[in-house]
Amino acid sequence: MDPTAIDALSKDLTVFLTPFLPHLLSLAKEATKQAAEAAGKAMGSDAWSLAKTLWAKLAPKVEAKAVASAAAQEAAAFPGVKAAEDFLELQVSKILGEDQALAQQIAQMLEGAGAVGVNVAASGAGSIAVGGSVSSSTFITGSHNWMEK
């Protein structure tokens, strides 16, 4: 794969895996394994299954590099923080660039599952999820809120 394709794949993979990372990282700990499984399934059993399969392929490479492992921990600890996600994406890009066979395998898995593209999750009162980009828009959440133009 060429560097541009690796970068795009890294972005797609990071966007897909990031919401699952806290649960995926907890799977390795016996004490939290059941809770991680339940939380992951609550995000959608098909998506959770794909996330576990992808992570099983990627995790050994991530864990073998201290910087990549730290990036995964940071992305899990700070969900929604772009800098943490970008740091993880960079590390994933390096890993996939070094292992073309893994990159091809992951690309096929994502394409086969239809996972490449948009992954949106919103949880909690007043949450907003956007499947794409938004500009020149105003979002108002909460009860009895209003806006005057």
Instruction: Give the residue among 89, 65, 54, 61 at the shortest CA–CA distance from 75.
Output: 89
Domain boundaries, the chain: 3-113
**Predicted pLDDT of residue 59:** 94
Q: What is the pLDDT of residues 47-88, one digit of tens each?
A: 788 888 999 999 999 999 999 999 999 999 998 899 999 999
DSSP 18: G
Neighbours of 27 (CB within 10 A): 19
pTM metric for this prediction: 0.67
**Predicted pLDDT of residue 131:** 56
Angle, helices 82-98 vs 3-17, to 10°: value is 130
Q: Which one is predicted more confidently, 64 or 145? A: 64
In sequence order, which residues have a C-beta less than 8 Å from that of residue 60 and are 6 or more positions away? none
Average pLDDT of the chain to the nearest whole number: 82
Residue 121: pLDDT band with limits 50, 70, 90: low
